[in-house]
Amino acid sequence: MDHGTRFGHGGDGARPLAVAHRAGNDLGQLARAEAAGVDYVEADVWLHRGRLEVRHCRTLGPIPILWDCWELASARGRRLQLPDVLAAAARGTVLLLDLKGRDRRLPGAVVEALRRHRPGAPALVCSQRWDFLDALRGRPEVGLVYSVGTPRQLRVVWPRLAGLALPAVSVSERLLDRDAVRTFKGRAVTVLTWPVNDAGRRDELLAWGVDGVISDDLQLLRAARAAGGRVATGPLPAVATS
């Protein structure tokens, strides 16, 4: 993790940001991502029955099962919670918290947890529920990243970015092409993209000007960091994590 780095809009030649996809959803994977030296560690956060649960899988109503696409898991037993992740994360780790679900109390609850369990530490929040992020505009505790997962969102995201000192998006890699990246960069928007698990696709996206890749593959992220040089653009102003 870079210490004392200024996250802002940089110039050409800066190395890309490396983001560990969903690594914060498991404490062992969190530790491995930190050891790999990634810039941000992503974690998915839900507000469920008053608790800030960290998981990607969804609940299935009263049935004790968690599901996601082809994955099923038992919902019994204690689930990982955000305070657990905040306590386990190393001092210099910057978390990218992806807000999930529909509970409008979630953004405020996340900020309160950050204040209580990780005061003064930088953090990012992202979500495809843009109203969650709108509720946090102007809050100094977090940087905002508007997540874009559909063609319609790609078309209509611009008003949400207006007025932000450091506008940033996290865009599904399938939605990006050279022109889309050029448009974002022409308006000084930081562009992260997910999920990037192929080195060839990573190199293509970076050649277009993408600022950072979100990947499940820590080796792919290590290779991105190995490029060296000043860190690329990012959605946090002047953080000193040392």
Sorted by where each begins, the domain ranges of the chain are 17-225
Hey, which CATH number is domain 17-225, 3.10.20.30, 1.10.3080.10, 3.20.20.190, 3.20.20.10? 3.20.20.190
**Mean pLDDT along residues 75-101:** 90
State the alpha helices, DSSP H only, in 75-157.
82-88, 106-117, 130-134, 151-156
The model's pTM: 0.85
Residue 235 in this model has a pLDDT that exceeds 90: no
> Would you say how long the chain is, in residues?
242
The pLDDT tens digits of the residues spanning 45-85 come to 999 989 999 996 554 444 444 334 445 344 445 689 999 99
Nearest residue to 183 via CA among 208, 164, 206: 208
b/e per residue 95-132 (b: at least 16 CB within 10 A):
bbbbbbbeeeebbebbbebbeeebeebbbbbbbbbbeb
